[in-house]
Amino acid sequence: MAATYDVAQVRDDFPILQRRLAGDLPLVYLDSANTSQKPRQVVDAIDAHYLAHNANVARAMHQLGAEASEAFELGRTKVAGFIGANRREEVVFTKNASEALNLVARVLGDAGAVGPGDEIVISQMEHHSNIVPWQLLAERTGATLRWFGLTPEGRLDLENDPIGERTKIVAVTWVSNMLGTINPVADLVARAKAVGAYSVVDASQAVPQVPVDLAALDADFVAFTGHKMVGPTGIGVLWGRYDLLASLPPFLGGGEMIETVTMERSTFAAPPARFEAGTPPIAQAVGLGAAVDYLSSLGMENVAAHEQAVTAYALERLLEIDGLTVVGPTEPVDRGGAISFTLDGVHPHDVAQLLDSKGVAVRAGHHCAKPAHACFGVQSTTRASFYLYTTEAEIDALVAAIWHTKKYFGA
Amino acid sequence: MNVDALYQEIILDHYKRPHGAGLRDGGDAEVHHVNPTCGDEITLRVHLDGDVVRDISYDAQGCSISQASASVLNDLVVGHTVAEGFTTLDAFQELMQGKGQVEPDEDVLEDGIAFAGVAQFPARVKCALLSWMAFKDAATQATGAQAAGKESS
């Protein structure tokens, strides 16, 4: 762990981590891949916006309107800087990562990017939000959906590469929300590029925990969400190469996305406004800007190093438990901070319930990744996921609660 | 919240040794119900003999609560008329949706009263109701098919 990283000091920024649960138990929050907790700095920024600067953006001619517009656009500038975008206009605000992915799928389809005989390539470890929009696009256009399978270790089976000359779109996740696997996305983007296909990266679990440099990634589109990176809910990001965005038709029609409207037809604004119909998530953009500032102040290299250290410790401790099977890579190499597991003789919902009774919050179920579960012959798993405020003591609490669960169910 | 209120000994017994588990041949209707939020699944067949539920056979994947509930469903409904089964279902559903405020009738629900604690855990109520809703669906289809058969004959 980096010497400069003080997890106790970080935790002081997150008042919720001091919460006591029923039975006066301390909260052990291990569900950050689901949604992260928010530091005081982010909540304060949203608070200050609503209490002192609230107005609609882009259309109000008054002082508050100017302040709100400036704050909203500053959020965009901060996000663009954080991910290394060439231009701030490449950052499109959506309501979440799902909407960002649906936006790309919809407008690429409307632009005629795929048709019968063409192929769209995804992988079997995708979140449902990076599967379903492509299935729908394939159905609409007559294109064929293909995918990378998984190795027994829970990595992409790169040997059996479905990318070929018919491939028009490659859409893959950077970090799996279920297996924790970090995929070689730059390599996959290069493979897509080599056959002239668009590349789309679901970075929902990556932007929160690894340093992102879009210039090095070289993808066409990247989607992520605010609430998993210490920001608020209600805001997601679609980043796209400016020339591409500028060549694509609009997504939703409405206010703010037009250039001019007559009763017969409309012309459309330049990106990003073209893809942001209606009143945008204004306070959320302010909050996301504060989240980006917070992460930058910690240093994403430090956040990643902390995540890596905590994950390595957790893997080591969890693998000591008889009857516990980690579904996903068991080595802390190219691996994010989400660990899904099964426990012999105890269903994941029952594991989660028992852990909750000890104050340990995890997620149980299919984690919106049913095909990935099917790959490993399991219907559901229990998932513990870590973040920049997770401590080794919390991992110890998790392990103790799992032993308690085993005893409780006689497993 | 006390987790022991949820995991009554009776529930754990039914979970470990479920009554009537497995799909058996025949049956008057088969349904497949899924709990989309957690992925629990059940395939359930209702086997009627006139208006009597001769058997409920099922293949269920899920947590202890959903598995035990299917087992209790089998105990309470098999051998009774469909109408009696629906009355029991109503009582069980009322208990589950009563937020812990409903006093269960042991004469009606027997081992089902052990699920009273589940009602205090809103996230688990759907687990307990999965098999019962599947039964309701299957029995409605089966009796509908019977009625249609009578009309046409």
Supply the CATH number for residue B87's domain: 3.90.1010.10
* Block residue for tokens 């969400």: A225
Q: Are residues A80 and A206 both part of a single domain?
A: yes
B87 in any annotated domain: yes
> Do residues A91 and A237 lie in contact, with contact meaning Cβ atoms separated by under 8 Å?
yes
Question: DSSP per residue over A228-286, as a string?
Answer: TTTS-TT-EEEEE-HHHHHHSPPSS-STTSEEEE-SS-EEEPPTTGGG--SS--HHHHH
Per-residue pLDDT at A2: 45
> pLDDT digit string (tens) for A380-406?
999 999 999 999 999 999 999 999 999
Residue type, B106: E
Per cent of chain A over pLDDT 70 is 99
> Do residues A164 and A119 lie in contact, with contact meaning Cβ atoms separated by under 8 Å?
yes
**Residue A350 and residue B63: Cβ atoms within 8 Å?**
yes
Mean of pLDDT values over A360-379: 93
**Residue A408 and residue B61: Cβ atoms within 8 Å?**
no
B146 in any annotated domain: no
Per-residue pLDDT at A244: 98
> pLDDT digit string (tens) for B17-28?
999 999 999 999
* Block residue for tokens 């936006």: A103
The number of C-beta contacts closer than 8 angstroms across A and B is 46
* Rounded Cα distance, B123 and B135, in Å: 21
> Do residues B39 and A380 lie in contact, with contact meaning Cβ atoms separated by under 8 Å?
yes
Q: Are residues A254 and A365 both part of a single domain?
A: no
Supply the CATH number for residue A230's domain: 3.40.640.10
Establish if B7 touches chain A: CB-CB under 8 angstroms: yes
Q: Which positions 36-75 of B are in contact with A (Cβ < 8 Å)?
A: 37-41, 61-65, 67
Query: Is A375 an annotated catalytic residue?
Result: no
B143 in any annotated domain: no
**Which of A238, A265, A297 is where one domain is finished?**
A297
Q: Are residues A204 and A175 both part of a single domain?
A: yes
Sign of the Cα pseudo-torsion (A112, A115, A121, A127, in order): positive
Answer whether residue A345 shows pLDDT above 50: yes
- Nearest chain B residue to A349 by CA distance is B63
- Nearest chain B residue to A370 by CA distance is B39
Show Cβ contacts of residue A158 under 8 Å, excluding neighbours closer than 6 positions.
A148, A184, A187
**Which residue range forms the structural domain that includes residue A23?**
7-30+300-408
> pLDDT digit string (tens) for A309-333?
999 999 999 999 999 999 999 999 9
**Residue B3 and residue A366: Cβ atoms within 8 Å?**
no
A227 in any annotated domain: yes
Q: Which positions 343-372 of A are in contact with B (Cβ < 8 Å)?
A: 347-350, 353-354, 356-357, 364-366, 370
Per-residue pLDDT at A1: 45
Answer whether residue A88 shows pLDDT above 80: yes
Q: Tokens for B24?
A: 């058996």
Q: Return the DSSP state at A5.
A: -
User: Which residue in the list A27, A60, A195, A368 is annotated as catalytic?
Assistant: A368
What ipTM was estimated for this complex? 0.85
3-state SS assignment for residue A376: coil
**Which of A297, A326, A346 is where one domain is finished?**
A297
3-state secondary structure chain B: CCHHHHCCHHHHHHHHCCCCEECCCCCCEEEEEECCCCCCEEEEEEEEECCEEEEEEEEEECCHHHHHHHHHHHHHHCCCEHHHHHHHHHHHHHHHCCCCCCCCCHHHHHHHHHHHHHHHCHHHHHHHHHHHHHHHHHHHHHHHHHHHHHHHC
> Do residues A161 and A155 lie in contact, with contact meaning Cβ atoms separated by under 8 Å?
no
Supply the CATH number for residue A387's domain: 3.90.1150.10
- Nearest chain B residue to A347 by CA distance is B63
Answer whether residue A60 shows pLDDT above 80: no
Mean of pLDDT values over A16-29: 96
Asked if residue B36 has a cis previous peptide bond (ω within 30° of 0), the answer is: no
**Residue A354 and residue B3: Cβ atoms within 8 Å?**
yes
A376 in any annotated domain: yes
